[in-house]
Structure 1
Amino acid sequence: MVKTLHDVCLTCIQNRLDKIPDVGRRLPNVHKEILLERLVNHDILTERYFKTVKKYLFVENLRNVTLYKSNQLTDVMLKTLGERCPNIHQLTIHMCANVTDTGIKAVTKPQKELAVLELRKLASFTGKGLEHLKSPKLKSLDLRGCNAVTTEAVETVTRNNPTISHLILHDCGQLSPNVFASIAKTLKHNLEEIDGCPRPMSDENVIALARFCPNLKSLNLLGGSKVTGNALLELSQGCVRLEALDLSYCYGLQESPENEFLWTLPTSLTRLSLCGVMLSDETLLVETLQRLKRLKSVRLCGIPALNDKTLPKILEHLGGTLEEVDISGSRALTDEGLASIATYCTTLRELDLSICKMLTGRTLLPLLRDTEKALLLKKAFFSVQQIEEEVLLAVVENCNNLEKFDAAGMETLTDHLLSTMAANCPRLKHVGIKGCKQVTDIGVCELARQCPLKYLVLSGIQAITDKTVFTISNHCHDLEEIYLNGCVNVSSTTINYLIDSCLSRVYVQHKTPNLDREHIMGKNIDTGEFCRMDLIQDG
């Protein structure tokens, strides 16, 4: 894969924006939005260059603005953006260390067309900067990871913008326990989705959501250890349109009599996660799921009651509609029970078998060799050491529409299998092959040449070298994340080349501690980097 002419031209303009005469008049708005995002991603938004950006890219009809992980972005720049661009439809500011409430206030106050606002992981942002935001079209507000945001700020912004239907407050650690009850009373029937911080999510909050938000469609209670069966009953009775519910690690629901309220879950559910809810009652698990006939996604990670008897009973009723099945971490499940997936699941798009130590995957072969069923599978997470090579071969030969594949720690994964996957899976974007000892540059380079990779985990593969990184740099221009921990033969120079070659900002994790006695690593106290000690010259 090579860069398109379109991207090559945009990169040229990006680097010479201040040299091209009258460039602002010649560029359509969609390209101005793309250029602004790439200037930020490649740290070109210096104060000197900002004068050109302000002149040519900040225009009144700018609609979508994404500013990601930039230490160059300042409150002053945001003030200018707000003044010159009052009609933004979607605004994302993510991990920009120098942005404060002052800048957020300046850019959001003039907006009357704003529909989507994402302010993520802004360490100095308390939420006070949103006190003047009043957009009659605001539907989605995402404040995840803004640890300093206060309850007062959240209550103010929801009161001023009652049209909000999607609200994400995950990892906002300063919120008071009753904040969700307050939000429910404010947004009422408009609220359709809420993803909150699990610590304060108590019965009081869930009951308030049930009583005031009848149109709620998606609720994330992950880690809500204080939630009990009574709240679940209220939720089931009040939110009859609920489609997605995450009860992962809600430990208060795993023992009788609280777990019996799982029988009351609304039959409107299409997505349900019970990961980490340590249910041991087999009958309860089976009957709870059998009555939810609309389920398309079910996540049962680590549930003791899931075994060779219960899984077939569940899938006999639900298999025909299920598109996503997560049975990872199951200790009791063997190939005998796994066979029910091949028997009953006719529309499967995602399958997660991670850390199921007793599986070889052999009973999945009828599904993986079925032309129609195999083509439906888009996500396969098979990080199980016992999975047989024949099973992996069936995946890479027949699952031609695969987009995500994870086989971390699998000793049976070879360069031949990766090369076959590269030839047969042209849509593959997400690959995790951490610690696969037989993999070398050969297999990874084939993937890079033929697949549009965006997410790649190669940690612990000591056989790969700079050749792999150079190949990724020259072919995977849309790469967003790469993990190279323990890859001692990959240099910092090639990492920098990779960052420069990609279109978006690339998240790179590359730590190489001592892994090989002949490749002794030491930390350079001046740079903070790990270096090969045997290659450092004296003096």
Structure 2
Amino acid sequence: MIQEDTQEIESDGYLTRCLEGKKATDIRLASITVGTGSCGGLGKLIIRGSNSTRGVTNVGLSAIARGCPSLRALSLWNVPSIGDEGLIEIVKGCNKLEKLDLSQCLISDKSLIATANNCPNLNQITIESCPRIGNEGLQAVGKCCLNLQSISIKDCPLVGVQGIASLLSSASYTLKRVKLQALDITDVSLAVVGHYGRAINDLVLTGLQKVSEKGFWVMGNAQGLQKLKVFTITSCRGVTDLTLEAVGKGCPNLKQLCFRKCSFLSDNGMVAFAKTVASLESLQLEECNRITQSGVLSPLSTTTLKAAVAV
């Protein structure tokens, strides 16, 4: 873990600063703007938690915005004292931003829209447990961030079909990694993923309780996931033998497949799937209790499977 007042040159050459807990204050941020200037400028800033009495506020972020125009990556985790004003200052002053990671923040669509409008190089976004971010922000990202390659959205109750549809349809030729977890989305959203996910090679779907068998079936049969290589599904009730066969037909280049807590899958689904995906190299099954050893081994005779694990 990176400690405050240390620097680390990462593989991409970013000069990094990390503030955690009691060390996360506006004064520390102001000192960072001074201390990194002679080193070529700050490239990555991580703020985790905040001092309960003198924590990071919009004032501190404004200092970064003015003093660190070279900032490329920003992570804000559990910083309740920061609002839209601070992040908007950052994206206006640091328009080279490429990566944005927001977790447990009270930032709204207003900030995400400003980010999309000011940071054309943005290629990676992670949003987790941000109750004020919804469809409007994602629509702006899809429209303006033409270099977007990776999106991860978890536990954001305002995110729905419109946001996912707009994002995927706009970024259909650049978006390579998609993670959707614990969202209030339905079958239509997965149909959009299946139709517009032309560039997706890594897809993670977790805890999508409102997506039925029909949603996964349509996603597979839409034939848009031709480049998908890595697919992970966890705790999704709509995953059945029928949908597994559809995924196999719609993802001919799949190499790694992982199912966790998918209780409706059985040996029949694995046998049908194995007949459609000859490129599979790795299979991982966790708590899929209807699949026996026979189902796990069925892909061996029809695929290039190198590893199969069932837990």
Number of the residue aligned with 2:264: 463
Q: Deviations over 1:367-419 (max 9, x none)?
A: 5445xx42222222222442243333222112211112222122325342232
Shift of the alpha carbon at 1:268? 2.3
Number of the residue aligned with 2:14: 218
1:478 to 281, 290, 294: 281
Shift of the alpha carbon at 1:486? 2.5
Say whether 1:389 aligns with 2:182.
Answer: no
Shift of the alpha carbon at 1:440? 0.8
Return 5+ residue gaps in structure 2 as ranges.
none
Number of the residue aligned with 1:376: 174
Q: Is the 8 A contact 2:91 2:114 kept in 1?
A: no
Number of the residue aligned with 2:104: 302
1:427 to 217, 224, 227: 227
Number of the residue aligned with 2:64: 262
Pairs aligned (count): 296
Q: Is the 8 A contact 2:260 2:288 kept in 1?
A: yes
Shift of the alpha carbon at 1:248? 4.9
Structure 2 CA distance for partners of 1:310 and 1:458, relative to 1, 3 Å:
same
Structure 2 CA distance for partners of 1:250 and 1:330, relative to 1, 3 Å:
closer
Q: Is the 8 A contact 2:116 2:140 kept in 1?
A: yes
2:118 to 314, 317, 321: 317
Within a 5 Å distance, the mapping from 1:26-425 to structure 2 comes to 197-198=1-2, 201-203=3-5, 205-206=6-7, 217-218=13-14, 224-225=20-21, 226=23, 228-229=28-29, 232-240=32-40, 243=43, 245=44, 247-249=46-48, 251=50, 254-256=55-57, 261-263=63-65, 266-304=68-106, 306-318=107-119, 320-370=120-170, 373-410=171-208, 411-414=210-213, 415-421=216-222, 423-425=223-225
Shift of the alpha carbon at 1:362? 0.9
Q: Deviations over 1:122-157 (max 9, x none)?
A: xxxxxxxxxxxxxxxxxxxxxxxxxxxxxxxxxxxx
SS in structure 1 of the partner of residue 234 of structure 2 = coil
Q: Is the 8 A contact 1:236 1:264 kept in 2?
A: no
SS in structure 2 of the partner of residue 386 of structure 1 = coil
Provide the C-alpha distance between the structure 2 equivalents of 1:219 and 1:497, rounded to a whole number of angstroms. 49
After superposition, the CA RMSD in angstroms is 3.4
Provide the C-alpha distance between the structure 2 equivalents of 1:468 and 1:216, rounded to a whole number of angstroms. 43
Shift of the alpha carbon at 1:317? 1.3
Shift of the alpha carbon at 1:331? 0.8
Provide the C-alpha distance between the structure 2 equivalents of 1:419 and 1:315, rounded to a whole number of angstroms. 31
Amino acid in structure 2 at the alignment position of 1:263: A
Provide the C-alpha distance between the structure 2 equivalents of 1:443 and 1:322, rounded to a whole number of angstroms. 34
Q: Is the 8 A contact 1:326 1:353 kept in 2?
A: yes
Amino acid in structure 2 at the alignment position of 1:282: D
Shift of the alpha carbon at 1:342? 3.5
Return 5+ residue gaps in structure 1 as ranges.
1-196, 511-539
SS in structure 1 of the partner of residue 247 of structure 2 = helix
**Greater radius of gyration (CA):** 1
Structure 2 CA distance for partners of 1:262 and 1:278, relative to 1, 3 Å:
farther
Amino acid in structure 2 at the alignment position of 1:266: C
SS in structure 2 of the partner of residue 395 of structure 1 = helix
Provide the C-alpha distance between the structure 2 equivalents of 1:487 and 1:285, rounded to a whole number of angstroms. 43
Structure 2 CA distance for partners of 1:492 and 1:375, relative to 1, 3 Å:
same
TM-score, L = length of structure 2:
0.78
Shift of the alpha carbon at 1:219? 5.1
Q: Is the 8 A contact 2:134 2:163 kept in 1?
A: no
Amino acid in structure 2 at the alignment position of 1:355: D
Q: Is the 8 A contact 1:418 1:444 kept in 2?
A: no
SS in structure 2 of the partner of residue 290 of structure 1 = helix
Instruction: With a CA cutoff of 8 Å and minimum separation of 6, indicate the structure with the bigger relative contact order.
Output: 2
Provide the C-alpha distance between the structure 2 equivalents of 1:441 and 1:221, rounded to a whole number of angstroms. 48
Provide the C-alpha distance between the structure 1 equivalents of 2:47 and 2:300, rounded to a whole number of angstroms. 36
SS in structure 1 of the partner of residue 178 of structure 2 = strand
Q: Is the 8 A contact 1:249 1:275 kept in 2?
A: yes
Identity %: 17
SS in structure 1 of the partner of residue 156 of structure 2 = coil
Shift of the alpha carbon at 1:437? 1.1
Provide the C-alpha distance between the structure 1 equivalents of 2:50 and 2:304, rounded to a whole number of angstroms. 43
TM-score, L = length of structure 1:
0.48
Amino acid in structure 2 at the alignment position of 1:490: I
Shift of the alpha carbon at 1:476? 4.2
Q: Is the 8 A contact 2:205 2:234 kept in 1?
A: yes
